[in-house]
Amino acid sequence: MDLSPNQDISLPLQNKVINFKTGELFHFPETAKEINLSKREKEILDLVSEGMISKEIADNLFISVHTVNTHRQKILEKLNVKNSHEAIKLAKNYGLIN
């Protein structure tokens, strides 16, 4: 369990388990209720999990690429992950996407 002292005290405690053999990180929000993705964010994350790039998502949803990228950044922030792969894995674990 990583309880690093360099966390922002204004945010909830961030927990993660590190598998030292594989280097894999597991992030644990206290409950799934802490993850508040909007309907649109879930929709975009689901499309990302299907392998779509931002341009394809924008065309599919009739929104700008900039809007898609803003949603993607917000998703990473809300899930407290570093990349889309981690976001998809976490969202699937919590049943936020299929």
Q: What is the pLDDT of residue 11?
A: 54
- List pLDDT tens digits, range 32-87: 556 789 999 999 999 999 999 999 999 999 999 999 999 999 999 999 899 999 99
The pTM of the full predicted model, rounded to 2 decimals, is 0.68
DSSP string of the chain? Answer: ----TTS-TTSPPP-EEE-TTT--EEE--S-GGG----HHHHHHHHHHHTT--HHHHHHHHT--HHHHHHHHHHHHHHHT-SSHHHHHHHHHHTTS--
Question: Does some domain include residue 51?
Answer: yes
Question: Does some domain include residue 45?
Answer: yes
Structural domain including 78 reads 16-93
Q: What is the pLDDT of residue 1?
A: 47
Q: How many domains does the chain have?
A: 1
Question: Does some domain include residue 89?
Answer: yes
Is the per-residue pLDDT at 14 higher than 70?
no
Q: What is the pLDDT of residue 20?
A: 80
Q: What is the pLDDT of residue 88?
A: 94
Question: Does some domain include residue 25?
Answer: yes
